[in-house]
Structure 1
Amino acid sequence: MPKQVDHDERRETISQAVWQVVSDSGLEGLTLRAVAAAARCTTGMVTHYFADKKMLLAHARTEMHRRMAARIDTLPAAASARDTLYGVAEQALPLDSERHLEAVVWSQFLLTTRHDPALLAEHTRSHASWIRRLAGLVRAACPDRSEPEILDDRVRSLVACLDGLALNAVTDPDAYPPDLQRRVLQTQLDMILEGNHST
């Protein structure tokens, strides 16, 4: 009797191999052959799950979001709604080697989406989900200022701050060390939660 294939297990093995290749060789080294070598399988087996490098990159980005979501889900209970918001937002910053790698994958994915409608659609869905998550946290942290238009402005200014910090910390890490990133995030929260805003 032929051996039954556990496709979920095999896909997970290849998924881990994708991340390992990105970690060891960067996105430039993310090829079907490199993933096959890391997964100790044939290139044909990899292409059964990922047809080309574009799909590998999309999967690396999905894995990035999964890892970030897993960290968020295991954050300890915070003392206040603001602290909860800070803890979640901080997960998007490249404050350590793992998050730095995630930011590299994210930034490379953003560049690729400019010329690929399918990847752009995936980015749009993920970005909207991130906006919704942060919107709930911002609303909880400033319930007296929850008008939809004001709330949306606050959330998008926070996202712009996080994205800018991540991109700059990836391209010029010495100029954007972790302590500076944390201070800038705290300042941004001061502005969107406690400052005076007009519509």
Structure 2
Amino acid sequence: MSPARTDHDARRHDVSEAVWRVLAEHGFGGLTLRAVAEAMGASTGLVTHYFAGKRELVAHALDILETRTRERPRQKTPAPGLPALRAHVLDILPLTPDSTAMNRIWVGSWDLALSDPALFAAQTARYERIRETLRAAIGDARRLGELPAEADPVRLAQTVLSFTHGLVVQALFDPERFPPEHQIRLTDDFLAGLRHPENQ
């Protein structure tokens, strides 16, 4: 790899780190080319070398957010079925300072995604991937007899994700009433209600 290419990649990494710092501190509302430049201690002209405008900057920020979400530490999955489903739900919830910050950024991105067709499509695809992960765990739980045989994995995955995101929003807006231990209790209560009657 040529030195010029190495320098370019290193500088782009610096830009990406600055984008993340701005997101973490100010959310998407404060994400501007000028704010990223200030976070780097650089000129706005340097940032515009990588992003032609706010649209490209936001798209890159969402890519960073997706990557950090995918690479974040995960709950250990003790077994397939409902234990795996529980781990997937807990992975989404704002149970730690890092996961709380990440959820705040995701929620802050919704307005942008709803108003931009490309971002809308990307978010739609992301939520379908999440539901697919939940569907796989639900299918295992049904085969293991933890859920009723008539349970519909597609509809149940939609229900689980709706519960999870509703809890995320409540925990972000009312953290004192929804501390991590309470979120976990609510999750366990919710999952218990899904169980096959013989396993309750």
Alignment TM-score > 0.5, same fold = yes
Task: String of CA shifts for 1:104-151, please: whole Å, max 9, x gaps.
Answer: 111121122222212111111111111111111221222256979711
Q: Over the residues paired in the alignment, what is the CA RMSD in angstroms?
A: 2.7
TM-score between the two structures when normalised by the length of structure 1: 0.82
| Count of residues in correspondence between the two structures | 194
What is the aligned partner in structure 1 of residue 68 from structure 2?
A: 67
Task: List alignment gaps of at least 5 residues for structure 2.
Answer: none
Indicate yes or no: 2:170 matched with 1:168.
yes
* Aligned counterpart, 2:86: 86
Task: Give TM-score scaled by structure 2 length.
Answer: 0.82
Tell me, yes or no, if structure 1 residue 23 matches structure 2 residue 62. Answer: no
Q: 4+ residue stretches of structure 1 with deviation over 6 A? A: 146-149
Taking the TM superposition and a 5 Å limit, the aligned residue runs for 1:172-187 are 172-187=174-189
Worse overlay, 38-47 or 173-182? 38-47
Contact 2:75 2:90 in 1 (8 A): no
Task: Look up the match of 1:106.
Answer: 106
Shift in alpha-carbon separation, 1:33–1:152, aligned structure 2, 3 A: same
Match of 1:120 in 2: 120
Question: Contact 1:93 / 1:165 at 8 angstroms: preserved in 2?
Answer: yes
Higher relative contact order (CA 8 A, sep 6+): 2
Deviations 1:65-108 (A, max 9, x none): 32232235x54452453222222221111112211111111112
Question: 1:22–1:29: 8 Å Cα contact kept in structure 2?
Answer: yes
Unaligned runs of 5+ in 1: none
Closer, same or farther in 2 for the Cα pair 1:32/1:184, shift >3 Å? same
Aligned ranges 1:150-169 → 2 under 5 Å: 150-169=152-171
The AA in structure 2 aligned to 1:60 is A
Shift of 1:59: 3.1
Contact 2:28 2:109 in 1 (8 A): no
2:141 is aligned to 141
